[in-house]
Structure 1
């Protein structure tokens, strides 16, 4: 699926050949809570990648530049619940853009893509969390129309 101007990225479901670049993006963007908890070898992520790709309620996408290099990634999860008459909620997670591509519209394009998928699924909302250390990301999400509506908590189990 192509979005935006002719020089924009192509966004498509991630394939096994993208995994090494996806892991590099995840690790480059690790905040303090994840630093030193990730594996050094990208192959260690293969089982989780395969599980995510085969799950009907989730997917991982990549943004590819015109030369088909991975310049961004995000994960999307469709959550079931009773609220909103059972309409799904969509969780956007692990949105990462390669450092040299930040500010070029790649992130905006990926979020628009995720929103389109959420709307097509009849979702009642698109939600995400962002580490409090990522102040630049918070401004980005607010500019895209997200409201900071909740206070989140996590309990690390590893």
Structure 2
């Protein structure tokens, strides 16, 4: 199967409605996302966009945002001061999953992590997303750690 073309670029402010729609395009996302780009999304985008250690990417086909991920670069002291890349919020439009778009976006992110000298790439995936887990394992990721999160109440 030939992978379809995917144009990958940095996200722009005008992409926010499409990105939020991608985040909400599954059972879990529908419970967490507002559906429209309220000021909190706009503020978060501004911080991400201004920081050279974060790249919010859009995968586009025929002018439509069909995939996204946040690629962050983190310094660390472990592993002899190695940098690592963190992949967050990777999404592909539900009507296009299984057609190779996620692999194209992931390959782009891995190449960028290598270009920036990262020693490893890490990501987390919610336990309720077994199809995503299979995708990451096929791509060469290993489930090596047990992760924990804590939701904090805002004042």
Relative to the length of structure 2, the TM-score reads: 0.91
> Of 34, 39, 64, which aligns to 1:69?
64
Match of 1:119 among 93, 98, 114: 114
Aligned pairs for 1:2-151 within 5 A:
7-29=4-26, 31=28, 35=31, 37-44=32-39, 45-65=41-61, 67-151=62-146
Query: After superposition, what is the alpha-carbon deviation per residue over 1:71-120, rounded to whole angstroms, capped at 9, x for unaligned?
Result: 00000110111112212110000000001110111100111011001000
Gaps of 5+ in 1: none
CA contact (8 A) 2:58 2:66 kept: yes
The unaligned stretches of length 5 or more in structure 2 are none
State the shift of 1:53 in Å: 0.8
In structure 1, distance between residues paired with 2:5 and 2:79: 35
User: 1:39 Cα shift?
Assistant: 2.6
TM-score, with normalisation over the residues of structure 1? 0.89
User: Distance in 1 between the 2:4 and 2:150 partners?
Assistant: 42
Aligned partners of 2:57 and 2:70 also within 8 Å:
yes
Contact kept in structure 1, 2:87 and 2:122, CA below 8 Å: yes
Question: How far did 1:152 drift?
Answer: 0.5
For residues 65 and 36 of structure 2, what CA distance do their matches in structure 1 show? 18
Aligned residues: 151
Name the Cα RMSD after superposition.
1.7
